Amino acid sequence: MKLKIKIPTLILISFSAGWITYFLHEVFHWFAYSFLNIETSFRVNTIELFQKEQFISDHKFLMIYGSGVCFTFLQTVCCYILLKKNKFFWLYIFLIAAFELRFIAAILNFFSPSDEGKISLILGLPLHSVSLIVVGGIGWLVYKSRKNVTFSKKQILIVLGAVFVSIYLFSFINI
């Protein structure tokens, strides 16, 4: 049986899931900078170094880039586990938001290295190696959890579209 969720509700939850996922991803980058005692200014969707000429070693960059990626992957795993126990449809939307955020990053990797691309390069791997692992792992959990919540094709398209638009719009915020 398909879930009966009103479209405005579905859009609102999807939009919120996209923004929350993106924002927390950036917060975890900021946590890494702070943990490493690197002074930064945190904005809604970007982090800027106070001392732009400051040298940061590769192992510190691995922690910084990896923190956001690991958070997003952890979000996926937590939502997957909770979704197996509680069939809350909004958990599936958060799974989709995490997948879309990292899938978009994987696509943008073709133009400029994303977090996963930078991690790959630091580790001496081909640019898309870590992206394939992350997107593949998150995608697999999204696929496995599809039986826990039954959305119609229309609902899935609405969620995908609303999450994409929310991530896209969030990337333009500069406060």
Judged by average pLDDT, the poorest of 10-14, 41-45, 67-71, 144-148 is 41-45
pLDDT band at 81 (very low <50, low <70, confident <90, very high): very high
Longest dimension (CA), the chain: 58
Beta strands 40-42 and 47-49 are antiparallel
pLDDT band at 149 (very low <50, low <70, confident <90, very high): confident
Tokens of 166: 């929310």
pLDDT band at 147 (very low <50, low <70, confident <90, very high): confident
Q: 3-state secondary structure string, 57-112?
A: CHHHHHHHHHHHHHHHHHHHHHHHHHHHHCCCHHHHHHHHHHHHHHHHHHHHCCCC
What pLDDT is attached to residue 150?
85
- Rounded to an integer, what distance in angstroms lies between the CA atom of residue 142 and that of residue 57? 35
Question: Is pLDDT above 70 for 21?
Answer: yes
More confident residue, 166 or 173: 166
**What angle do helix axes 153-170 and 7-35 make, rounded to 10 degrees?**
40
- Rounded to an integer, what distance in angstroms lies between the CA atom of residue 64 and that of residue 58? 10
Looking at residue 53, what DSSP letter applies?
T
Mean of the pLDDT values across residues 108-115?
96
Mean of the pLDDT values across residues 128-152?
95
Q: Which helix (H) or strand (E) holds 41?
A: strand 40-42
- How many Å from the N-terminal Cα to the C-terminal Cα in the chain? 43
Question: Is pLDDT above 60 for 142?
Answer: yes
